Amino acid sequence: MARRRSMFSIFRRLVVIGVLGVGLLTAGALGIAWVALGPTDTVGEVDFDTELVIPPLAESTIDEQGRRVFELTAQEGHLDLGEGAVDTWGFNGDYLGPTLRAERGEEVLVHVRNELPEASTVHWHGMHLPAAMDGGPHQMVEPGGTWDPTWTIDQPATTLWYHPHPHGRTQEHVARGLAGMFILDDPAAQVELPSDYGVDDLPVIVTDPTVRRGAVDGGREFGDRVLVNGTEGPYAEVSTELVRLRLLNGSPMRVYQFSLDDGSPLVQIGSDGGLLPAPHEATSVRLSPGERAEVLVRLEPGETRVLRSIDPDLGQNFLAERFSGGQDRFDVLQLRAADELADSPELPEELAPDIVEHAGDPSAVDRVREFRMSGRQINGAQMRMDHADEVVTLGDTEVWEVTNHGGEVHTFHVHDVQFRVLSVDGREPPPELSGLKDTILTEEGVTYRLLMTFTDYADPAVPYMYHCHLLKHEDQGMMGQFVVVEEGQEPAIAEHEGH
Ligand code: C2O
Ligand code: CU
Ligand code: CU
């Protein structure tokens, strides 16, 4: 008995030593990571000596069927980041792509050409369109191949974007530079806003290049600088009292919290899917990957302001914040006002008071679905290309209840629709979430109730995606698929057993 006991206590001692050892090693590794992944801070360090490049407006022609026709070629290129050129990818150029622009009611056709050494896709992020035109992982374009999606623009004026979506490779393709803006106009829009592209209406595509061995490397999560429209240390000359910035977070993983260096407010006028109901003065605007915001900045003659990203509030525990860029700060873009500034339109009190009606009637909800985000799974499942996780009936208004249970930063993006945030943890959404959205950051343990209506396009065979828009997570399978079917129609791809 005594012998057994002492054997047991030796064993127990060994376990304790082992546990202590592992604990020490973990603490050591964390410590090393803590230092190695220390906060990146470029505030006050950026020279702003390069004029901001404005992506050209894509040329288009009108074909015999009246369609507006664009050409987009994904190709290899180079970008000079100061330490010599690095290999990049871009559309119709070296890095990023031209700005596409079309009006509500117009039919568009895009001739997409893939001149990359591997297959890719072009997804129209935020666009309401048929699933077969969406450019998700089911619409692959082989090297040397072409793809000709066509659809009718039918949604409020806003700032959308396009980027590749090949399953498992999206982070890499976007990081290398494949992204561009897609501006939608609405000829019926009433509000007068600064809208002279490249003059008082500036595209601001913020990317986070992760460079290794002379190439933009999509494997790393975070870079140590930011680019605007591919320009490092950019300044923009401003000649009007008000300048409108169309902010797009085109970074694969990084969350930004934009603010002005002197603490003066940014006036947010738009979110992902269009104008806000009313302008909202904010000291900062947080954007997770894929999100957009339109803001106005008011300048005095001769003054200089810096748009900066302060340490973003990620709604996470201390450790998750630290290792997700939650302490990083960047100087992003300098605005230089001329000595004389042209008048700008008066800012109206209301912008688009009824815009959320687009998402449907909250008192006539046909179905509620729950989405639990955790690990690299949504509702306990990973992306399966041949399964429909959800089947939606055309015309239905639904509430999607999304909760991040993960202890990590996640976001939630839905294809095809723009949604309205009905509530955040049971409360009214904050003003920045009062308009239409297609992507939101999901803070830990908080439930977001999203209202959306699936109009126009049913296709039982081709799914749309919903996913975390942190592209590494998406690539690792944090994505699901839904098909939209006509009432009574069966999906033509396998339905997930759980339903
Ligand atoms: Cu920005 Cu599924 O995409
Ligand atoms: Cu999308
Ligand atoms: Cu995620």
Q: Which protein residue has the closest C-alpha to ligand 1 atom 1?
A: 125
Is the sign of the CA dihedral 440, 443, 444, 447 positive or negative? negative
H-helix or E-strand spanning residue 397: strand 397-404
**Predicted pLDDT of residue 19:** 64
The pLDDT tens digits for 311-344 are 999 998 888 888 899 999 999 999 999 999 999 9
Task: Return d(Cα 204, Cα 240) in angstroms, integer.
Answer: 17
Number of domains within the chain: 1
Residue 467 Cα: closest atom of ligand 1? 2
The pLDDT tens digits for 371-423 are 999 999 999 999 999 999 999 999 999 999 999 998 899 999 999 999 999 99
Task: Return d(Cα 448, Cα 450) in angstroms, integer.
Answer: 6
Q: How many Cα neighbours within 13 Å face the side chain of 139?
A: 24
What tokens appear for 326 in the block? 């939650």
Answer yes or no: are the C-beta atoms of 240 and 227 closer than 8 Å.
no
How many angstroms is it from 469 CA to the middle of ligand 1? Answer: 6
> Residues of 312-329 as b/e, b for ≥16 C-beta within 10 angstroms?
bebbbeeebbbbbbbbbb
What is the β-pairing status of strands 242-249 and 234-240? Answer: unpaired
Residue 420 lies in a domain: yes
**Predicted pLDDT of residue 210:** 87
H-helix or E-strand spanning residue 216: strand 215-216
Q: Is the CB of 173 under 6 A from ligand 1?
A: no
Beta bridge partners of 298: 242
For the ranges 184-193, 284-293, 336-345, the lowest mean pLDDT is seen at: 184-193
Residue 366 lies in a domain: yes
Residue 68 lies in a domain: no
Task: Return d(Cα 484, Cα 464) in angstroms, integer.
Answer: 8
3-state secondary structure of 22: helix
Q: Is the CB of 138 under 6 A from ligand 1?
A: no
Residue 77 lies in a domain: no
CA Rg value for the chain? 24
The domain of 428 spans 355-495
Answer yes or no: are the C-beta atoms of 271 and 435 closer than 8 Å.
yes
The pLDDT tens digits for 191-203 are 999 999 999 999 9
**Predicted pLDDT of residue 29:** 67
Spatial CA neighbour of 484 closest among 333, 331, 367: 367
How many angstroms is it from 18 CA to the middle of ligand 2? Answer: 47
Task: Return d(Cα 83, Cα 8) in angstroms, integer.
Answer: 62
The pLDDT tens digits for 18-56 are 666 666 666 666 666 655 667 999 999 999 999 999 999
Span 239-252, mean pLDDT? 98
Spatial CA neighbour of 340 closest among 212, 239, 203: 239
Q: Is the CB of 165 under 6 A from ligand 1?
A: yes
How many angstroms is it from 214 CA to the middle of ligand 2? Answer: 30
Secondary structure (DSSP) of 253-301: S--EEEEETT-PPEEEEEETTEEEEEEEEES-EEE-TT-EEEEEEE--T
Span 171-189, mean pLDDT? 96
Q: Is the CB of 290 under 6 A from ligand 1?
A: yes
Residue 490 lies in a domain: yes
Residue 216 has pLDDT above 90, yes or no: no
Spatial CA neighbour of 321 closest among 432, 443, 153, 419: 443
What is the β-pairing status of strands 330-342 and 285-287? Answer: unpaired
Q: Is the CB of 467 under 6 A from ligand 1?
A: yes
Answer yes or no: are the C-beta atoms of 329 and 42 closer than 8 Å.
yes
Q: How far is CA 498 from the centre of its chain?
A: 29
Q: Which ligand is nearest to the CA of 405?
A: 3
Secondary structure (DSSP) of 420-462: EEEEETTBPPPGGGSSEESEEEE-BT-EEEEEEE--S---SSS
Which CATH number characterizes residue 380's domain?
Answer: 2.60.40.420
Q: Which ligand is nearest to the CA of 137?
A: 1
From residue 459, alpha-carbon distances to 196, 251, 360, 494 in Å are 39, 31, 21, 14
Sequence-ordered strand ranges (E) for 11-167: 50-51, 61-62, 68-80, 85-91, 100-103, 107-114, 123-125, 146-147, 150-152, 158-163
Residue 142 has pLDDT above 70, yes or no: yes
Residue 108 lies in a domain: no
Give the confidence band of 2 by pLDDT, cuts at 50, 70, 90: very low
How many angstroms is it from 289 CA to the middle of ligand 1? Answer: 10
What tokens appear for 186 in the block? 């609405």
Q: How far is CA 485 from the centre of its chain?
A: 27
From residue 178, alpha-carbon distances to 75, 212, 390 in Å are 9, 17, 29
Spatial CA neighbour of 277 closest among 179, 356, 346, 377: 356
How many angstroms is it from 467 CA to the middle of ligand 2? Answer: 9
Task: Return d(Cα 391, Cα 294) in angstroms, integer.
Answer: 33
Task: Return d(Cα 105, Cα 111) in angstroms, integer.
Answer: 20
